[in-house]
Amino acid sequence: MRVMVTGNLGYIGTILTPMLMARGHEVIGLDSDLYRRCTFGDGMPDVPTLRKDVRDVTLEDLKGVDAVCHLAALSNDPLGNLNPQLTFDINHKASVKLAELAKKAGVKRYIFSSSCSNYGAGGDELLNEEAAFNPVTPYGESKVLTERDVTKLADDKFSPVFLRNATAYGVSPRLRFDLVLNNLVAWAFTTGKIMMKSDGSPWRPIVHIEDISRAFCAVLEAPRELIHNKAFNVGVTADNIQIKTIANLVGEVVPKCQVEFAAGASPDKRCYKVNCDRLPKVLPSFKPQWNVRRGAQELYSTYQKHGLTLDDFEGPRYQRIAQVLTLIKEGKLDENLRFVS
């Protein structure tokens, strides 16, 4: 199958593309390479890539493509809050346009990287795919709107699928420290302590990026009738975990690490737990292989291997919002997040 992966040079894309190729698929990428200065370690996959902003995709780009795995987006809440209108332009409008062009080009399957942020302030109830949306950020809203509009394009020849990923973690050539487990292990490794700025009470579902990639592979290869125009929470139901529990687990993995809570720390209003049982039930080929403790151990050993420093951790290189603001300050990006020629 000829598969286009948008955002193939990003945090998840650099894990998904070699997995697809190992399964025999022909992969082409589409990515503006916004984070070209953010490579961690080695192992960037070699994939033919259209160096193009997702807002600029044309019909010609999609000709001969069998399926699209759409990852490209402003990828978290702080980045989404930088310019909410721009977030909607990139995450929502460009995603819908991509789906429309894909349908016109004869692409059979469109797999959208959505998010459990759709559920937002979900409380303590375990939420399945039929739960009401309650996004609390422009990022979450943009994902909800994309699902709403792309689902209308479904027909006998065009099958959209929506993968609502839990909060990601894990090692990648385009590593991010603005994700909770990656961040806490880095704090512990570089400083010997974890200082919690919130009270740690909110719940989060978290999932390894390799398991997110396995979900994409499973959906891509599934019989159409099992996945057509459906949404799936992507994660492991057992890995709905409170932030303070994650912090304490990291304290157990990283030697001589102390976990402290800041005085007067308050809760985060983003609190949700999700049921992720539908996808492995519908597609038994999808078998998640990671848990939180193993993920923390992987991160710790990788930080050791590459000699992660506090300057690396606190600098802009591996924090998406900080990297974007640095590029704008340097005049390399304009106010619309386009590279200045």
Q: Give the tens place of pLDDT for each residue, 170-212.
A: 999 999 999 999 999 999 999 999 988 778 888 889 999 999 9
What average pLDDT score do residues 280-289 get?
97
- Tell me, what's the pLDDT at 197? 75
- Claim: this prediction has a pTM higher than 0.85: yes
Going along the chain from its start, the domains and CATH numbers come out as 2-175+207-240+270-291+323-329 (3.40.50.720)
- Tell me, what's the pLDDT at 266? 66
Cβ proximity of 181 and 206 under 8 Å: yes
Express each pLDDT in 305-318 by its tens digit.
Answer: 999 999 999 999 99
Count of CB atoms within 10 A of residue 328's CB?
15
Residue 141 has pLDDT above 80, yes or no: yes
- Tell me, what's the pLDDT at 235? 97
Banded model confidence at residue 268, pLDDT cuts 50, 70, 90: low
Residue 223 has pLDDT above 90, yes or no: yes
Which one has a higher pLDDT value, 120 or 340?
A: 340
Residue 272 has pLDDT above 80, yes or no: yes
Complete DSSP assignment for 116-138? GGGG-EEEEEEE-TTSPP---SH
Q: Which of 49, 43, 16, 5 is nearest to 217 (CA)?
A: 16
Residue 264 has pLDDT above 70, yes or no: no
Residue 265 has pLDDT above 70, yes or no: no
Residue 297's alpha-carbon distances to 82, 186, 284, in angstroms, are: 33, 11, 27
Banded model confidence at residue 142, pLDDT cuts 50, 70, 90: very high
Residue 295 has pLDDT above 70, yes or no: yes
- Per the DSSP assignment, residues forming a β-bridge with 30 are 6, 50
Residue 276 has pLDDT above 70, yes or no: yes
What average pLDDT score do residues 250-262 get?
90
Banded model confidence at residue 236, pLDDT cuts 50, 70, 90: very high
Q: Which of 52, 59, 63, 58 is nearest to 29 (CA)?
A: 52
What average pLDDT score do residues 266-286 get?
88
Quote the CA–CA distance of 330 and 323 in Å, as a whole number: 11
What average pLDDT score do residues 31-41 get?
94
Low-confidence winner among 23-27, 44-48, 84-88, 193-197 (lowest mean pLDDT)? 193-197
What average pLDDT score do residues 27-45 get?
93
**How would you label 249-265 residue by residue, b for 16+ Cβ within 10 Å and e otherwise?**
bbbebbeebebeeeeeb
Residue 287 has pLDDT above 80, yes or no: yes
Residue 341 has pLDDT above 90, yes or no: no
Cβ proximity of 172 and 11 under 8 Å: yes
Express each pLDDT in 65-121 by its tens digit.
Answer: 999 999 999 987 777 778 899 999 999 999 999 999 999 999 999 999 999 999 987
Quote the CA–CA distance of 172 and 312 in Å, as a whole number: 15
Q: Return the percentage of the chain with pLDDT > 70, whole number.
A: 96
Residue 155 exposed, middle or buried by CB count within 10 Å (0-12, 13-18, 19+) = exposed
Residue in this structure with the two tokens 């999700």, named with its chain if needed: 274
Mean per-residue pLDDT over the chain, rounded: 94
What average pLDDT score do residues 123-145 get?
91
Q: Which of 176, 234, 184, 230 is nearest to 205 (CA)?
A: 234
**How would you label 56-72 residue by residue, b for 16+ Cβ within 10 Å and e otherwise?**
ebeeebbeebebbbbbb
